[in-house]
Amino acid sequence: MVEAIQVDTMERVVSLCKRRGIILQSSEIYGGLASCWDYGPYGVLLKNNVKRAWWRTVVQAREDMVGLDAAILMRPEVWHASGHIETFHDPLVDCKSCKQRFRADQLISANCPVCGGELTEPRNFNLMFKTFMGPVEDSAALVYLRPETAQGIFVNFRNVMTATRRKPPFGIAQIGKAFRNEITPGNFTFRTREFEQMEIEYFCPPEEADAIWERWVEERFRWYRDLGIRSEQLRKRQQSATELAHYARATVDIEYRFPFGWSELEGIANRTDYDLAQHSRHSGQDLSYFDEETKQHYLPYVVEPSAGADRATLAFLVDAFAEQSDDKGEIRTVLQLHHQLAPIKVAILPLSKKPELTEPARRIAEALRAWWTVEFDVTGSIGKRYRRQDEIGTPYCLTLDFASLDDHAVTIRDRDSMCQERVPVVDVIPYLQEKLATKITNLQSDTIFSK
């Protein structure tokens, strides 16, 4: 009965995001700011769930990881040491006729792709945004908006290692904004000038780096699959020598098949000791680790799984998006998001606006809010209300009807199967805990103390 209809998915996702306040154009009332996007009420919940899921997997669930939240602004020396001032640029060309700008490495012909005009010689364009710190706009106060969060981790490496009494192998994770003055942003939130990264710098003995790198590639690949992305839409791709960033010895990209083609979600790089060596040299500080067992100093190698929060969110949205037609030929748009990622977990829908139903329904909503994000909706037909929840990916809708007043039970509808179950009100919380996998299981002594 259900058939997916595939017509320009990307356009439909963008339109759904706008219509339902998931992702909105920045400064829209002034005509919009190119390539800048705002996450609306459901979007912020979704993106926060993506970031939380990442943090839970790579920090909370692991013994060998700690977190960090470094400042966006750093001393300019950081970017000299990291190589970003010298090498973080793209080749830029201008059309002499229509004045449009392009990345030379993305052009397929020697002439302007818009008007066919003659192009200038390529020149290097540094992607870092600059700003001024303090009231006097002179070059002494020039600072950069970070183009990657990674450097905030490298410059804190020694402090974090000492404060947390860690020794390699261990990792530092961070989520935060990064900025790049991209020449050709586009594809909605896929390539923007302001975006959020979820980065891990995993410090390890040099001889262990290759094996650790391979393990991280597998673990990160699994994360996207575990959160519901269809396997056939995901792939790993090793970068060629010419694609590698200036700091990387080897990088595997995890790519998603977007409607606009296979594109990178995350890169897992072996950065060797490049960054720690550079920062040791430029700062004059010794960033080596002293191994008590071997009595040797060494600079740890770094394996870096670096993901984009916006790109991951977009991939989850696109992958979850479905348009299904029922027996009557009516289309329902549904986001089949993993429960962990769904912005709203439960919608409470009293079948009538009469206080006999809305008052107990509100009491249920209030009780559930202690556990989950809940939406209360009393407007429109029940069919329309189900559709609205399907569109934002709410896994469960709970309706209260006049029979509920007698049998003290409610109806719970499952987003994906659309099956409905009558559940006594006293069982609603355990029922949802089970379904939403938020039930806490007790420690079992025979498992804990098994030999």
Residues that bind ligand GAP (CB under 6 A): 148, 150, 180, 182, 191-192, 195, 197, 199, 264-267, 304, 306-308, 310-311
Of 90, 80, 72, the closest CA to residue 127 belongs to 90
**Which CB sits closer to ligand GAP, 237 or 332?**
237
Distant-in-sequence, close-in-space partners of 429: CB < 8 Å, separation ≥ 6: 367, 368, 371
Of 389, 259, 269, the closest CA to residue 315 belongs to 259
In the complex, minimum distance from the CB of residue 406 to ligand GAP, in angstroms, rounded to a whole number: 54
Residue 89 to residues 49, 265, 385, 438: CA-CA distances in angstroms? 33, 21, 49, 46
When CB distances to ligand GAP are compared, the closest residue is 308
Buried-exposed string 288-306: b where 16+ CB fall within 10 A, e elsewhere: bbeeeeeeeebbbbbbbbb
In the complex, minimum distance from the CB of residue 26 to ligand GAP, in angstroms, rounded to a whole number: 14
CA 95 vs. chain centroid, Å, equals 35
**Which CB sits closer to ligand GAP, 182 or 323?**
182
For residues 306 and 269, the answer to whether their CB atoms sit within 8 Å is yes
Q: Which two tokens stand for residue 114?
A: 């818009």
Q: Please state whether beta strands 250-258 and 409-414 pair in parallel, antiparallel, or not at all (unpaired).
A: unpaired
**Which CB sits closer to ligand GAP, 106 or 352?**
106
**Which CB sits closer to ligand GAP, 52 or 435?**
52
- What is the Cα–Cα distance from 177 to 184, expressed in whole angstroms? 19
- What is the Cα–Cα distance from 187 to 43, expressed in whole angstroms? 17
**Which CB sits closer to ligand GAP, 218 or 421?**
218
In the complex, minimum distance from the CB of residue 412 to ligand GAP, in angstroms, rounded to a whole number: 37
Query: Is the bond preceding 395 in cis, omega lying within 30 degrees of 0?
Result: no
**Which CB sits closer to ligand GAP, 183 or 432?**
183
Burial of 313 from C-beta contacts in 10 A (0-12 / 13-18 / 19+): buried
In the complex, minimum distance from the CB of residue 247 to ligand GAP, in angstroms, rounded to a whole number: 8
In the complex, minimum distance from the CB of residue 127 to ligand GAP, in angstroms, rounded to a whole number: 9
**Which CB sits closer to ligand GAP, 168 or 267?**
267
The C-alpha angle with vertex 112 and arms to 107 and 118, in degrees rounded to 5, equals: 120
Residue identified by tokens 């020039």 is: 142
Q: In this structure, how many other beta carbons lie within 10 angstroms of the beta carbon of residue 192?
A: 22
**Which CB sits closer to ligand GAP, 182 or 401?**
182
- The H-or-E segment that residue 281 falls in is helix 274-283
Q: Please state whether beta strands 194-204 and 170-179 pair in parallel, antiparallel, or not at all (unpaired).
A: antiparallel
**Which CB sits closer to ligand GAP, 254 or 410?**
254
